[in-house]
Structure 1
Amino acid sequence: MTEPSQAPNTRAVIIGGSLAGMLAAAAVRDHVTDVVIVDAHEIPVGPEPRPGVPQAAHLHVLVSGGAEAVHELLPGAVGQLLGSGANRVPMTTNMVMHSPEGWYRRWRRDSHYLIAASRDLFDSVVRQHVLKDSKVTVRSPAKATGLVGSADRVTGVRLHGADGEESELAADLVIDASGRASRTPRWLAALGVTHLSEDVVDAGYAYASRVYRAPVPTHNWPVINLQADPRRPGPARAGGILPIEDGRWHVSLMGTPGGHPPRDPAGFDAFARTLRHPLVADLIAQAEPLTGITVTHTTANRRYYYERLRTWPDGLVALGDAVAAFNPVYGHGMSVAALGALALRTQLSRHGLGSGLARRAQRAIAQPVDLAWTLATGQDIHYATTQGRTAGMLDRLLHRYVSRLSHTATGSYHVATALTDVLTLQSPGTSLLRPSVLAAALLGPGRPPLNAPTFTPAERRLLAAADISLPSATG
């Protein structure tokens, strides 16, 4: 990779000041003289809720593939997250996970991990690191209402200011990081760029989330993950507990139509009892609620295939949820945004702002999207409630193979590691077709299944001190 080259008097305009927009600013700042982030809402200073991010109330993780991309873009940011109370959770060492195929063992491995924190803390730390660069400024509240330019080249954005005034902001590069509400498809159509392919896979999941004061210390405490099983009759239900900063648990319950989690506290607790195992319900029964319950139904997987368009204007790039938004149950949204921003920076380092940069960058951004899209939709298309696409023969065969891998992973360190490589976005999905993985899947787990969640003796002592009694795992 060549050293960053900064063209004189050049500007990048970024639509959206959320995490994807801030990471986009980090990606371009060494290649332009001026970065302007445009956002329709006031951007908070500290770790506070940001208007326009309703999903912030639900679980957020940064898997190791995304965390390493953040470190590349913003050295020191991951360290600051951890120093501010975020937890680095080794996978699967510090995970108590009940897959459709059974309880996972807590294999000892540190190279795969996730960062667990509130979305507000993630946003705040990334924002601090980006905005301390004097060449990065924020224009808010100001709403982007369109693109300036033609089908061949975008040269800026149209803005609607808080005072009602309309204006244009010239740019050498416009980056859409505005999330699920992105208007780029219609803006492209207005410029004459048409025939954009779109894919939607919607299992109809709803989320209900609440934050608790944990009854045990949260440092080095495991993530709890009770997954849904699409093969079981009736609505799918899932739930999880994430240990976040300030000694808190972030709890989310999820369900498909006919089994959506309720908003009232009694209903929330009762719903937790309907999961495939009562672990989440048993744990939160001894935890102190700190917030109300937030419910959202915006969980569809939606993707725009910008990289497939025959015509793509120079000067325009889209990334993050503006390209592909995923069912949040899989925890890949922030990591894909980080990997997309890193791909953009790589293309800028190699080719600069010259002709063709935008198309190259859009194709590079599509690569991490491809993997996360396959992981999310490859599961969601198998729910009876799913709209947008149904499972074909190849989908069913692939699902059976992945289920076999998951079954094997409950008793095979080798297969558990191979799966985690992919789930943390550190290896392509094709790595699961290596001969050694295929052979291991054929042989099966090699160990008997566990019959209960796995907690260490030290964790059990802490649970006992909090009056939480759980059966011991055997197998």
Structure 2
Amino acid sequence: MAAIVVCGGGVVGLCAGLMLAEDGHEVTVLEPDAADPPGTPREAWDGWRRAGVAQFRQPHNLLPRFRQVVDRELPGLTERLADGGCVRVDYLESLPPSIEDRAPRPGDDRFRFVTGRRPVSEAVVAAAAAEHPGLSVRRGVRVAGLVAGPSALPGVPHVAGVRTGTGEEVAADLVVDATGRRSPSAGWLAELAARPAGAESQSSGFVYYTRYFTGPEQPRRTGPQLAPVGSISLITLGGDNDTWSVTVFGPTRDAPLKALREAATFDRVVGACPRQAHWLDGRPITGVLAMAGGLDRYRRLVVDDVPVVTGFVAVGDAWACTNPSAGRGISVGALHAQLLRAAVRSSLDDPGELARAFDEATEREVTPFYRGQLAADRARIAEMDALRAGHEPPPPDPVRAGLLAAALHDADAYRALLETVTCLALPDEVLTRPGMAERLAAHAGEPPSRTHGPDRARLLDLLAG
């Protein structure tokens, strides 16, 4: 068995640590934020501060793929989340009214999951980690760099541990970077004279405005979780312990949207959207929380089939991150951790093979989610920009538009769309299933779903008050 260090104690880092500890490895999680989780998950929202996680109080979602992964890899965690107050969700309860065939299908339970606010969900996972005998979480310990060991491949640096901010060296057979969107590991690798990783980075181009509410029951969903409404989009998410959130987002360059920082303006805009207005029918428990500055970033630690480094891998947002509007980050991160567990099982004794095996699995199973989100974001930004300027939006991707049109009327096409949205399957997988092409062809050329909410002129009036 190996000594493994996980850098970062967020949900993905803790899940990775738990999975590896379940296989008998000695796992140490190093988390720079010193504050311990509160005594109970219900206290986490008010009592836990995570300065190192800018999005800690922004909306998060634990999609069905997260439940699928943890039910297989970490049995009992879903029940612990529910016991901590996370809400149970079934996306099939909000079938579009235009679908006449409402009969259940075998396997429909795959769309059921539990979700909650990030502090509460993370507190539950942290409690599970604290109880595992093979896992140690050290809080208030910042990783400052990597410790080099003898090379496993000619000319390729090998990592044999980490160096903390106090100068302590922690030896490891494998170091896992789970430090999230702000990962400093590019600098760590440069200090080892590693070849540059394959990398790309650009601003996501969006700004988000969110309010949280509480009430005796969750709002009834009458539209999609992520809904385009002209030159803005809205996100409505159920939360834990009788809470929920509403988010309005748009391009960072859309200056009038800054008025959404005012609660009254936020409420006016959401109140003008008929499918989301009733989500305001609760007691606000926050003001408007704004977030911008997100990155679309991707790194690959195997270049031309040669690892940049051995003894070191990156998972979740430390590997790649996008605009968070789809709520996929934790779910994709859990999938990535599952793939790491499999690679460690098969190739721990061969650092070069471990690096290649994990890279191949990542590119096959996870990178398509990154690429797909990037394409969707660029298309949505172009559409928003055109509507803001009073121009006709560019035509949508015909395949995606076909699936969206079919999903409004065909129960199986709707389930296929849900599988892609919830990370249960990749678009290419569902689109090549027998009969799917015929389902899409039956609705080819149908107009897109009507926007339910204010047009640009009305939005500007609402923003101006």
TM-score, scaled to structure 1: 0.80
Amino acid at match of 2:341: R
1:378 paired residue number: 375
Corresponding letter in the other structure for 2:438: A
Instruction: Write the distance in 2 (CA, Å) between the matches of 1:290 and 1:204.
Output: 28
1:238 and 1:255 in contact (8 A); partners too? yes
Match of 1:153 among 135, 151, 158: 158
SS at match of 1:295: strand
User: Hey, what's the Cα distance between the residues in 2 that align with 1:138 and 1:283?
Assistant: 38
Q: Work out which of the residue numbers 2, 6, 9 in structure 2 matches 1:17.
A: 9
Please state how far the C-alpha of 1:440 moved relative to its aligned partner. Answer: 1.2
Q: Which amino acid aligns with 1:213?
A: T
With 183-192 and 350-359 compared, the bigger mean Cα shift is at: 350-359
How far residue 337 of structure 1 moved from its aligned partner, in angstroms, is 0.8
Match of 1:331? Answer: 327
Deviations 1:14-46 (A, max 9, x none): 100111110110122144552111111124323
Equivalent in the alignment of 2:79: 79
Alpha-carbon contact 2:129-2:137 (below 8 Å) kept: no
CA distance change for structure 1 residues 224 and 441 in 2, over 3 Å: closer, same or farther? closer
* 1:44 matches 2:36: yes
Output the CA distance in 2 between the equivalents of 1:192 and 1:149: 10
C-alpha distance in 1, partners of 2:224/2:411? 20
How has the CA–CA distance of structure 1 residues 417 and 237 changed in structure 2, closer, same or farther, with 3 Å as cutoff? same
* Counterpart position of 1:167: 168
1:37-59 Cα distance to aligned partner (Å, 9 max, x none): 11111243233243322212222
Distance in 2 separating the partners of 1:211 and 1:132? 31
Secondary structure at the residue paired with 1:174?
A: strand
Structure 1 residue 221, shift from structure 2 partner:
6.5
State how far apart, in whole Å, the 1-side matches of 2:55 and 2:95 are: 23
1:247 paired with 2:245, answer: no
**Equivalent residue number for residue 428 of structure 1:** 426
Closer/same/farther in 2, CA of residues 248 and 200 from structure 1, 3 Å limit: same
SS at match of 1:17: coil
* Residue pairs, 1:35-184, within 5 angstroms: 35-46=27-38, 47=41, 48=44, 49=48, 50-94=50-94, 109-149=108-148, 151-160=156-165, 165-184=166-185
Q: Deviations over 1:289-335 (max 9, x none)?
A: 11222111033321112243623322111101000112111111001
Q: Is the 8 A contact 2:143 2:163 kept in 1?
A: yes
CA contact (8 A) 1:31 1:352 kept: no
Name the SS for the 2:435 alignment partner: helix
- Amino acid across the alignment from 1:287: G
| Structure with greater helix share of residues | 2
Give the number of equivalent residue pairs.
419
Distance 1:143 1:365, change over 3 A: same
CA apart distance, 1:260? 3.5
Structure 2: where are the runs of 5+ without partners?
150-155, 386-393, 453-465
Deviation at 1:86, TM superposition (A): 1.6
Q: Which residue matches 2:455?
A: none
**AA of the residue aligned to 1:23:** C
Q: Secondary structure at the match of 1:152?
A: strand
Confirm or deny that 1:415 pairs with 2:423: no
CA deviations 1:240-293 (Å, max 9, x no partner) are: 22222221222222111315352221122133246xx33323430x32111222
Q: For residue 444 of structure 1, what is the aligned residue in structure 2?
A: 443
Residue 407 of structure 2 is aligned to residue 402 of structure 1: no
SS state of the match for residue 142, structure 1?
coil
CA contact (8 A) 2:207 2:290 kept: yes
Distance 1:96 1:411 in 2: 8
Deviates more, 1:104-113 or 1:345-354: 104-113
Counterpart contact for 1:59–1:118, Cα < 8 Å? yes
AA of the residue aligned to 1:338: A
Which one-letter code corresponds to 1:317 in the other structure? V
Q: What is the alpha-carbon distance in structure 2 between the residues aligned to residue 378 and residue 106 of structure 1?
A: 32
Taking the aligned partners of 2:278 and 2:220, their CA distance within structure 1 comes to 20
Cα RMSD after superposing both structures: 3.1
The equivalent position to 1:298 in structure 2, one of 293, 300, 307, is 293
Distance 1:192 1:452, change over 3 A: closer
TM-score normalised by structure 2 residue count: 0.81
Structure 1 residue runs of 5 or longer lacking an equivalent are: 1-6, 98-102, 388-395, 454-475
The question of 1:352 aligning with 2:348 is answered yes
**C-alpha separation between the residues in 2 aligned to 1:167 and 1:147?**
11
User: Relative to 1, partners in 2 of residues 1:427 and 1:279: Cα closer, same or farther, differing over 3 Å?
Assistant: closer
Distance of 2:132 and 2:34 partners within structure 1:
19
Report percent identity of matched pairs: 25
Secondary structure in structure 1 of the residue aligned to 2:36 = coil
8 A Cα contact 1:179 1:320, kept in partner:
yes
1:444 deviation in Å?
Answer: 0.6
| Structure 1 counterpart of 2:364 | 367
The 3 A distance-change label for structure 1 pair 171 and 104 is farther
Q: How does 1:213-362 map to 2 (within 5 A)?
A: 213-214=214-215, 216-218=216-218, 225-228=225-228, 236-256=231-251, 257-258=253-254, 260=257, 262-273=260-271, 277-284=273-280, 286-308=281-303, 310-355=306-351, 356-362=353-359
Offset of residue 178 of structure 1: 0.2
8 Å CA contact 2:99, 2:411 repeated in 1: no
